[in-house]
């Protein structure tokens, strides 16, 4: 009953000073809203990265160049280490037991043109196994063949978005386009795959024979003078054979690259799970860091609550004296002011949650509308909401303890004489 009475008094006090109460809540609204927004977007980013690697397969290993003289772990993207892999390496890996397929890949940015249309894209120099390794399917035409690779043919397979941007409703098969001012014949269009990475949609990629890429688009050689391969996707027949195949790949490449026992590898074996763990750790750290920054607003809000509650105690000194004079106990006064502080923080936290939801969804919508090659769907976890509400109430109670105790300790006689 006393709590209900304190609750009613707290509501009356807040409504009696509407503007001051609203300004007091503003710090909590901003803080809680910022925490909800940043953590929701961070969770959405983690889900986006996870979905990006889902289509790469759990039984796939990527062999990439690695600088043996540099400290740290394997490189996560081609181009950060001297070229050390070749097509002969890919063929040697293909002969290892339990290897279901091998897709060597070179990639770079290129300019495409057809008629009056010009656009940028990413070209993948690869082989026929690329289609399965990367989870693509064909919509029309055909994919690259072994004959295309052996003959170094100027043929190209387009991603669905690239085909639409270049040709619109026109049939692209058999048409000739320019890649970096060199003519290529379109032999196929891949079905929409969805997803993307670093702002580049997987449906914007194009594929050409890796031998054509090496000889006519981008020439890069290893230290021994052979045509370089940036990475090799190795599809393994089963997850049970993963460890054995990884060991066999390392053994074969060390032998081919003449690496002594006391020397480090000039290549690295990376699985999608490993890449996902690295990016997951980065995004989690970023989310926590941004959450801590947003938490500063909660600290500022708590200081605001304490300040306003101290002002309220001073303004209501005579009221406190009267309540004590007619039999009010110290715990009643303490409960009244703690209830007011908790109510301010609870209302402010609730409005902050609503604001965070709206802002995070608005940012997700803006990213989709901008069409920048990727999308992030804000994920508002119930745990984030519960955490935000709990923190806001705790902050309100913690901020109201000192003013409430100060009010409860007032001498009734001195309080009655206070002007």
**Residues 113, 178: contact at Cβ < 8 Å?**
yes
- pLDDT computed for residue 320 by the predictor: 67
**Residues 163, 112: contact at Cβ < 8 Å?**
no
**Assigned token pair, 319:** 């009221």
- pLDDT computed for residue 74 by the predictor: 43
For residue 147, what are the contacts with CB-CB under 8 A and spacing of at least 6? 153
- pLDDT computed for residue 415 by the predictor: 52
- pLDDT computed for residue 416 by the predictor: 56
- pLDDT computed for residue 240 by the predictor: 83
10-residue mean pLDDT series, the chain (419 residues): 63 73 78 81 74 64 75 45 86 91 92 90 92 87 94 94 91 93 94 72 90 92 86 86 89 90 85 71 74 73 74 69 69 75 80 86 75 66 75 72 69 57
- pLDDT computed for residue 199 by the predictor: 61
**Assigned token pair, 76:** 């996560």
- pLDDT computed for residue 76 by the predictor: 44
User: What predicted TM-score, i.e. pTM, was given to this entire model?
Assistant: 0.62
- CA 142 to CA 165: how far, in whole Å? 20
In the chain, where the domains are located: 2-53+277-416, 83-265
Instruction: Identify any residues that bridge with 63 across adjacent strands, giving them in sequence order.
Output: 232, 269
3-state SS, one letter per residue, for the chain: CHHHHHHHHHHHHHHHCHHHHHHHHHHHHHHHHHHHHHHHHHHHHHHHHHHHHHCCCCCEEEEEECCCCCCCCCCCCCCCCCCCECHHHHHHHHCCCCEEEEEEEEEEEEEEEECCEEEEEEEEEECCCHHHHCCCCEEEECCCCHHHHHHCCCEEEECHHHHHHHHCCCCCCCCEEEECCEEEEEEEEECCCCCEECCEEHHHEEEEEHHHHHHHHCCCECCCCCECECEEEEEECCHHHHHHHHHHHHHHHHHHCCCCCCCCCCEEEECHHHHHHHHHHHHHHHHHHHHHHHHHHHHHHHHHHHHHHHHHHHHCHHHHHHHHHCCCCHHHHHHHHHHHHHHHHHHHHHHHHHHHHHHHHHHHHHHHHHCCCCCCCCCCCHHHHHHHHHHHHHHHHHHHHHHHHHHHCCCHHHHHCCC
User: Which sign, positive or negative, has the C-alpha torsion 126, 132, 135, 139?
Assistant: positive
| CA-only gyration radius of the chain, Å | 32
- pLDDT computed for residue 72 by the predictor: 45
For residue 285, what are the contacts with CB-CB under 8 A and spacing of at least 6? none
């Amino acid at each position: 009953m006393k709590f209900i009475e304190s609750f009613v008094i707290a509501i009356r006090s807040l409504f009696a000073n509407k503007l001051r109460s609203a300004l007091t809540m503003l710090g909590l609204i901003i803080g809680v809203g910022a925490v909800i927004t940043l953590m929701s977007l961070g969770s959405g980013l983690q889900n986006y990265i996870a979905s990006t690697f889902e289509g790469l397969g759990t039984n796939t290993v990527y062999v990439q160049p690695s600088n043996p003289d540099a400290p740290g772990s394997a490189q996560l993207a081609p181009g950060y280490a001297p070229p050390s892999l070749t097509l002969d390496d890919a063929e040697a890996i293909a002969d290892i037991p339990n290897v279901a397929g091998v897709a060597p890949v070179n990639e770079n940015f290129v300019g495409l043109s057809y008629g009056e249309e010009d656009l940028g894209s990413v070209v993948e120099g690869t082989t026929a196994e690329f289609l399965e390794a990367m989870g693509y399917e064909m919509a029309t035409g055909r994919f690259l063949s072994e004959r295309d690779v052996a003959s170094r043919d100027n043929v190209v397979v387009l991603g669905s978005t690239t085909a639409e941007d270049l040709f619109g409703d026109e049939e692209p098969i058999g048409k000739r386009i320019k890649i970096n001012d060199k003519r290529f014949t379109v032999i196929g269009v891949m079905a929409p795959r969805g997803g993307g990475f670093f702002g580049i949609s997987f449906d914007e990629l194009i594929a050409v024979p890796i031998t054509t890429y090496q000889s006519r688009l981008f020439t890069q050689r290893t230290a021994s003078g052979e045509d370089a391969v940036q990475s090799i996707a190795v599809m393994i027949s089963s997850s049970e054979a993963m460890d054995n195949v990884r060991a066999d790949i390392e053994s074969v490449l060390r032998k081919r690259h003449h690496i002594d026992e006391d020397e480090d590898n000039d290549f690295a074996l990376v699985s999608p799970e490993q890449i996902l763990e690295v990016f997951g750790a980065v995004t989690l750290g970023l989310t926590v860091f941004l959450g801590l920054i947003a938490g500063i607003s909660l600290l500022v809000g708590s200081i605001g609550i304490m300040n306003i509650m101290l002002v309220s105690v001073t303004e209501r000194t005579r009221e406190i004296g009267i309540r004590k004079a007619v039999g009010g106990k110290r715990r009643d006064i303490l409960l009244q002011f703690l209830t007011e502080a908790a109510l301010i923080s609870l209302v402010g936290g609730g409005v902050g949650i609503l604001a965070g939801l709206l802002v995070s969804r608005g940012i997700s919508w803006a990213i989709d509308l901008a069409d920048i090659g990727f999308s992030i769907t804000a994920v508002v976890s119930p745990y984030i909401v519960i955490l935000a509400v709990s923190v806001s109430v705790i902050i309100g109670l913690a901020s109201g303890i000192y003013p409430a105790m100060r009010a409860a300790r007032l001498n009734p006689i001195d309080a009655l004489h206070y002007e």
